[in-house]
Amino acid sequence: MKNINRARNRVVVTLASMVVLVLAMAAFAAEPTGIRATVGKDGAMTLEADISSYVAKYVELSDTVASAEDQRDTALDSYERAVSEKKAALSLEELKNSYETSEKAVLEAKNNAVISGLNTYMALQKAYKDLEDKNVSPWEMTDYVNHVQTTLPTVRAIWRFGGNLDLIKRLIAGGFPVIVESGFDVEDLGWMGHYETVVAYDDPSQTIWVFDSYLGPDDGWGRARSYADFDYWWRHFNRAFIVLFTLDREADLWAALGDYGYPQNATNTALRTARQEAAANPGDPWAWFTMGMSYAWLGDFHDAVIAFDQAFALGMPYRITWYVFSPFEAYWNVGRFNDVIALAENTLATTEYVEELYYWRGMAYAGLGQRGAALDEFSKAISYNPNFTLAADMRAQVEAGTFWAPAPA
């Protein structure tokens, strides 16, 4: 039942919230001195920020609002009780004034919280206006949790493709936080990707509750979604999911995952599901696209490009290549370098803030033997993400003349 699952998952939600904070901090390369810029030896600028002070301020202001609301409610109760008891007019006037004063205090506290939030947003927006990474992939987040962050030293994360609702429910019931990557449509903006933290479910009503990274938590308990609606949007990202766990519960996690403990098994499950969905509805572009994703992750690039060609022919939202780079990898590995360049340029026409696009365009130029253009693209990728070690490695290989590529198609 819903309430039982929510009660059992107080720790889950707390841990998930803490790790979401850790993941948010990853985007800001936290330093104790606040927002600042540093310039490396290669001339690339890195903007760094410490958001801990903003988090502390938010907590402080939230407590202030809650305290003010408590005082207002107490004053209102006193006034209403005095009215019902027909107290003297002077006493009523004093109590009424006390209530009105406390109501003003609530409004002032809320205004202060909003202003602080806006100031924080504007400061960070200004600092990062030229470094808007449009995507952080599940494997990047798990790598950060496992190898970079030190705030929660006993927390680890894994990610997989091909999840299903039964697995999600099993993990939540077992006390493991689950984050999923899903698509959704935004009014006036169209399709985009985002993350959701699953916090509860209820089988009788076929309802699941999530904290939405774009829309927020709704009433604080999570946003209610039907099982069907949740799965419809989740499939857009091949039903990718992240599980968080503490080291003392690692054995419990593997038991809950079953065959999903092995990444290849999970991806094969995703592939079977996509093939079934494509067979049932050949005109479904998402079935073909997720089929291509699974083939690419399994190293079958020939079948991957067939699936991706079909998906793009049927029509995919333009933002999909902000988030998913398997088509670039597949086309590159079969030597379709010009298709890689065309796909990258089509995507760059909609945003410049995706370092992977420059990386794959560099890989394509290198495959075509255009050394100078390749080096420029790898350098652009690194300028957007100084920690993009793969781009640095490829740039070094091109410079050294050791770069390998398949024969052009």
The answer to whether residue 351 is domain-embedded is: yes
Q: Please say which residue of 107, 127, 147 terminates a domain.
A: 127
255: enclosing H helix or E strand: helix 250-257
State whether 257 and 295 are in the same domain. Answer: no
| Alpha carbon distance 274, 281 (integer Å) | 10
State whether 210 and 349 are in the same domain. Answer: no
Residues of the chain with pLDDT below 50 are 1-51, 54, 120-131
pLDDT number for residue 133: 60
The answer to whether residue 120 is domain-embedded is: yes
pLDDT number for residue 126: 43
Axis-axis angle for helices 165-173, 227-234 (nearest 10): 110
State whether 16 and 158 are in the same domain. Answer: yes
pLDDT number for residue 132: 52
pLDDT number for residue 62: 60
State whether 119 and 172 are in the same domain. Answer: no
Total number of domains constituting the chain: 3
The answer to whether residue 274 is domain-embedded is: no
State whether 85 and 140 are in the same domain. Answer: no
The answer to whether residue 266 is domain-embedded is: no
State whether 286 and 145 are in the same domain. Answer: no
State whether 59 and 142 are in the same domain. Answer: no
| Selection from 240, 208, 235 nearest residue 221 by Cα | 208
pLDDT digits (tens, 9 = 90+) for 250-304: 999 999 999 999 999 999 999 999 999 999 999 999 999 999 999 999 999 999 9
State whether 153 and 239 are in the same domain. Answer: yes
The answer to whether residue 81 is domain-embedded is: yes
For the chain, how many residues are written?
Answer: 409
Q: Please say which residue of 127, 156, 182 terminates a domain.
A: 127
| Alpha carbon distance 276, 396 (integer Å) | 43
State whether 252 and 294 are in the same domain. Answer: no
Alpha helices in 52-176 (DSSP H): 52-84, 89-127, 138-147, 165-173
Those residues with Cβ within 8 angstroms of residue 177's Cβ, 6 or more apart along the chain or in another chain: 12, 13, 15, 16, 19, 197, 198, 243, 244
CATH code where residue 376 lies: 1.25.40.10
State whether 152 and 38 are in the same domain. Answer: yes
Q: Is the pTM of this model over 0.85?
A: no
329 and 299 in contact (C-beta within 8 Å)? no
> Which residue bears the tokens 């992939």?
137
Those residues with Cβ within 8 angstroms of residue 305's Cβ, 6 or more apart along the chain or in another chain: 292, 330, 331, 334, 336
State whether 154 and 212 are in the same domain. Answer: yes
Range of the domain at 301: 279-400
The answer to whether residue 271 is domain-embedded is: no
178 and 159 in contact (C-beta within 8 Å)? no
State whether 178 and 197 are in the same domain. Answer: yes
The answer to whether residue 405 is domain-embedded is: no
Q: Please say which residue of 74, 93, 127 terminates a domain.
A: 127
The answer to whether residue 386 is domain-embedded is: yes
| Selection from 256, 215, 260, 210 nearest residue 231 by Cα | 210
